[in-house]
Amino acid sequence: MDLQLGGKRALITGGSKGIGRATAEVLAAEGMDVLLVARDPAALAATAAGIRARWQVQVEVLAADLSQEAEVQRVVAEAGVVDVLVNNAGAIPPGTVLQVDNETWRRAWDLKVFGFISLCRSLYPAMAARKTGVIVNVIGAAGEKFPPGYIAGAAGNAALMAFTRAMGHASQKDGIRVVGINPGATATDRQEMLLRHAAQEKFGDAARWRELMAPMPFGRMGLPEEIGAAVAFLASPLSGYTTGTILTIDGGA
């Protein structure tokens, strides 16, 4: 299926690994140029080299800490024309309301919550001026399931869900679509970290984390490529009447 994305350009945050990297690969396979933003220059370079080796598209990288407003504005200034923004950066740590201290909570939200919001707000005017653009916020299913052992993430994701829906309900007047994806458990390094934490809590042994996958739908976690494919479809003209909505991909959990 031709998603009609060829020749367009995407900015992907958290683009060096996990869902961000998989999304970049899917979009590159569709003929899109990609700008990858993450904090680790070496990881960005490795990801970019892998994509260039497989597809004839332009791949740019920009190392930046999007928890810092000055860094967000530097990215916006250097990004140039962005047809599709994929907000994906951020890793809110697990813990209950008494386990996550204020400093950790604020630091995590500066990247995952305010980083998303700031980048959306900063790129929106240029998209509106062109009367075209798509924003895909990769959020997380905890925002609708409210696990108490992941309270900072649940609250942050719920806030981003509301932000995405509110923004997307008005953006069509400017020719822009804003959508979200809520991945459930997905086979990334971050998810392994969360499962290790859960295994430590449940079994007293973080090394038993794989046992927690047995009751999952289809007996496995989702794949980053499955999320990336959904990003690509939602970003494409084939989904041109979709805005202000959020797709949950959790195997039916």
Q: What is the pTM of this model?
A: 0.93
68/201: higher pLDDT: 68
Q: Which CATH class is domain 9-186+225-239?
A: alpha beta
Asked if 150 is an active-site residue, the reply is yes
Mean pLDDT of 138-161: 96
Mean pLDDT of 47-56: 97
Position 25 confidence tier, pLDDT thresholds 50, 70, 90? very high
Q: Is the pLDDT of residue 188 over 90?
A: no
Q: Is the pLDDT of residue 239 over 80?
A: yes
Query: What are the angstrom distances between the C-alpha of 45 and each of 15, 93, 111, 117?
Result: 11, 26, 21, 26
Mean pLDDT of 127-139: 98
Q: What pLDDT does residue 189 have?
A: 85
- Hey, where are the domains in the chain? 9-186+225-239, 187-221
105/188: higher pLDDT: 105
Kind of pairing, strands 59-63 and 84-87? Answer: unpaired
CA distance 185 to 223: 9
Q: Is the pLDDT of residue 198 over 90?
A: no
Compute φ and ψ for 177, nearest 5 degrees. -110, 140
Mean pLDDT of 233-243: 98
Q: What pLDDT does residue 147 have?
A: 94
Catalytic residue among 150, 155, 182, 183: 150
CA distance 219 to 101: 34
